[in-house]
Structure formats: C-alpha cells, structure tokens
Amino acid sequence: MSNQNNHKVRGKTRISYRDYYTLKNLGAVRTGSIIFLILNVVLRLLYTIFPESLTRAQNYPEFNFTNWLYIAITPIFLGCSYLLVYLYNKQKKANFVMTVFVFLFALYIILCGMFSSFIATSDPRNSMTIYLTALSIISVVFVFEWDEALLLVFITEGLFTALLYNTQNEGMQMIYNQLISVILLFCFYFISRYFYSYKSSYFLQLVDIREKNIAIEKAGAFKNEILGMVAHDLRNPIGAIETLALMMEMDDIDNETRENLEMIKTSCVKARGIIADLLDAANNENINVVETQRTELNYFLKNIINEWKIQKEAKNNIFLISSKNQVYVQINADKFQRVMDNLITNALKFSKNNNKIEIYLSAKNGSAIIEVRDYGLGIPEDLIPHIFERFSKARRPGLRGEQSTGLGLSISRQIIENHHGTIDVTSEEKKGSTFIIQLPVVD
C-alpha cells in the first residue's frame, strides 16, 4: 500500500483502524482495571495484617483514604469495560462513548500516579516515580489520536498545577516541579505518537495481508473454475476420437493402420487420465468434508486388485498381504479408489513388467496402515520432499515413456487428509518405493 511507508492511515482504512484500536483499548482497560484493583486489594490486606507498622508511615491517612477510593472506583471501570466490549462485538464498530471511556480511564490512572506522588511528599519532584510510571504505561499500552493525546497532556498539566499550588511550596520549588512535569508530559506525548505510528504500521500490514489473501482466494477460485471448464470440455472431443478409432477397428484394415489406431486409443486413455487429474484438482481443492461409509479394507483392496488384474490388464503381479482379518475404516469408496489407483499406477509406471507390487494391510495404535510397495526405479532423495506438491517438479516419465501431470500424488494426499489420515513415502533408488497410508480405525 502506498501509504504504508509513512505509517499513516487514511479514508476508510482510518475508520477501520480506529475501530481496531478502540477494541484493543477496551481490552487494555479491562486488564488494567483488574491489575490495579488487585494491587489495591493486596495493599488493603497489608493494612489489615500489619496495622502497627503501616499506620506509622508518613501520610498514612491520605494513602488509606485513596486506597479505599481506588477500590471503590476501579470496579466501575472494570464493569463498564466488559459491557462496552460486549457492545463492540455486537455492533462490530466503535462509538464516541467507547472513546470517551478509554480517555477517562487513562486520565484516572495518570491522576492516581500524580496524586500518589504528592501524597508521598509535599515536594513531588522527589517522588516522581509513580507519576512517571503511570504516564509510561498509558503512552505504551493505549492508542490515542494526536488531539486526544494533546488534550490529555493539557488536562494533566492543569491538574498538576492545581495540586502544586495547594501544596504551598516555595516559588523556586514550584518552578522545578512544573518544569519536571512539562518534561514528563512532553515525553509522554511523543512516546504516545511513536506507538501510534508503530501500531498503525502493524495494522496496515494486517490489512495488506488480508487483501492479498482475498485476492489469492479469488484467483484460486477463478483458476479452478477455468480448469474445470477446460478439462470438462476436452473430454467430449477426446471421447469422439476414441469412438472413431474403435469404429475403424471393426473394418478390414491392415496391420500398420491397426497399430496407428492402437496408438490413438492409448493416447486417448492418457489424455482422459490427465483430464481426470485436472478435474480432481479443480473439484477437490476446497472440499474438506467428504461423505464416507464404514468399509472393510480387506474386501475393498481385494476388489481393487482384481479389477487391475482383469479389467486393466496389469502385467505385474499385484498381491495383498494382510495381518488382520477385518479392518474397518470410514472412507468414501470412489475417492479412496482414486488414491489406490494413483499409487498402483505409479508403482507400475516405475517397475519392470515382471516386478511385484505388494499391498500390505495392518493395524496399530488405532490406525489402519496400508503400504503400497514396489521394487522398481525408486525416487531420488532430493525429489522426495516435492512429490506431494501440485504440478510437482518431481514428476518424471515412466520406464515405458508414460508422462505425468504431477497432480496424482497431490490429489491423493488431499483425499487422505480429508479422511483424517496421513500419507508418507520411503524410497531408495534402484530398490523401489513404499507409500504408507494411515487411517483411523472404526469399530
């Protein structure tokens, strides 16, 4: 944002910032009231437990009176802060009453510190610590506009001057005290402005991040919409090409033409696989909840393996090795079959025709564990961290030249995570890979 460099908020952003810091100020009033009340209650307990030693202290009657006064007034601020925070959350915006309330609490704390300095000694310049502490806390914790901070300075200085005249100090002492107070208030104003600038810069960064996140979400939604439309529209012409190839095969054709038709059919199958990946990427991205049903994994996995052996003509030997007779999980059968098909496809893609593909099923610590193991090419160590990324740079052609979109494993991980499960991989080059899925077991 162009105005972020000078830490200034303008226009609608200024209104949003005022609402933002007003809520923070109300929260600070609530916390400050609790702390200040606890301190005074503890002091009251000390007065009760050690009356002999404390009542002999200098100006004890004044401290005793102000202690009761603080105990009586502070709960009012505490109760009002809770009420105003509730109203803010209901209205989702600040109002003038909230601003005045925060201002009055800040003035109250400063006056408490100032008055305590006067009670400690008639010459407040010798005990400015409490006054300085109050000013420092208010300048750092609360956010004020420049005019509010300036008004607070003038009111505080006026009250300080009034109290100073009532102490009946000598002229030079009054000048020293007045000078010290002016210096402290001058520091208070500039510290307040510094923290206003710092907090406004932080707020602008939050606004900028929020706007960028919204833009990213819109761009992602638009991308998925276009991706889905393109992938969906591509299926029809590819299906038409595949149908024509099948019809031409029915005619009396020579071997060369038949080989060309087989190549066309194989290309169509690959294209449909790529389109399926694109559609899954578009449709699954924002789906965090899937409809599931209780499923027995031995039966489910056997059906998938049989389908691969019969319908998909897998030349590799695919085996199921199970250590449990029955393992039940909650899954969406269609989506989870997509995961298993992706893993088996990858295993076949990087294995020789006579290599085994082993699917292990076990259960441990309340989790069903499915391992898909091959003894093929393996994954280079530097690519393993990237294989689950969308359009992953880890994608490679298979041993027989099969191409990859880099989407299959990304989609698989997303589906598994939507089932409250996890997927991981271990691999060693030239020795094979094992993909490990863990899912919660159900009774």
The string of pLDDT tens digits covering residues 311-364 is 655 556 888 999 888 999 999 888 898 899 889 888 888 887 778 889 999 999
In whole angstroms, what separates CA 214 from the centre of its chain? 14
Percent of the chain with pLDDT over 70: 81
Q: Poorest-confidence range of 118-127, 192-201, 409-418?
A: 118-127
C-alpha triplet 330, 334, 336: angle, nearest 5°? 55
Predicted model pTM? 0.53
Give per-residue pLDDT as tens, 165-177: 776 566 677 787 7
Q: Is the pLDDT of residue 264 over 60?
A: yes
Residue 272 pLDDT: 73
Q: Poorest-confidence range of 34-38, 103-107, 122-126, 359-363?
A: 122-126
* Local confidence band at 209 (pLDDT 50, 70, 90 cut-offs): confident
C-alpha triplet 251, 254, 260: angle, nearest 5°? 90
CB 277 within 8 A of CB 339: no
Residue 260 pLDDT: 82
What integer best gives the mean pLDDT of the chain?
81
* Local confidence band at 132 (pLDDT 50, 70, 90 cut-offs): confident
Q: Is the pLDDT of residue 380 over 90?
A: no
Q: Poorest-confidence range of 76-85, 169-178, 389-398?
A: 389-398
Residue whose C-alpha is closest to residue 30's, from 66, 67, 94, 76: 76
* Local confidence band at 256 (pLDDT 50, 70, 90 cut-offs): confident
* The most confident of 168-172, 192-196, 281-285, by mean pLDDT: 192-196
Residue 396 pLDDT: 61
Q: Is the pLDDT of residue 297 over 80?
A: yes
Q: Is the pLDDT of residue 125 over 90?
A: no
Q: Is the pLDDT of residue 394 over 60?
A: no
Tell me the average pLDDT across 374-387.
86
C-alpha triplet 184, 190, 196: angle, nearest 5°? 135
Residue 10 pLDDT: 66
Q: Is the pLDDT of residue 1 over 70?
A: no
Residue 120 pLDDT: 60
Which tokens is 129 given? 């610590």
Tell me the average pLDDT across 374-382.
86
Residue whose C-alpha is closest to residue 155's, from 190, 116, 181, 192: 181
C-alpha triplet 194, 196, 197: angle, nearest 5°? 65
Tell me the average pLDDT across 241-246.
82
Residue 403 pLDDT: 56
Asked if the 293-440 domain carries CATH number 3.30.565.10, the reply is yes
Give 236-239's long-range contacts (Cβ < 8 A, gap of 24+). 238/268, 238/271, 238/272, 238/275, 239/268, 239/272
CA distance linking residue 44 with residue 57, whole number of Å: 14
Residue 57 pLDDT: 53
Q: Is the pLDDT of residue 81 over 90?
A: yes
**293-296 and 317-322: which strand pairing?**
unpaired
* Local confidence band at 79 (pLDDT 50, 70, 90 cut-offs): very high
Residue 6 pLDDT: 42
Q: Is the pLDDT of residue 383 over 90?
A: no
Q: Poorest-confidence range of 6-10, 75-79, 126-130?
A: 6-10
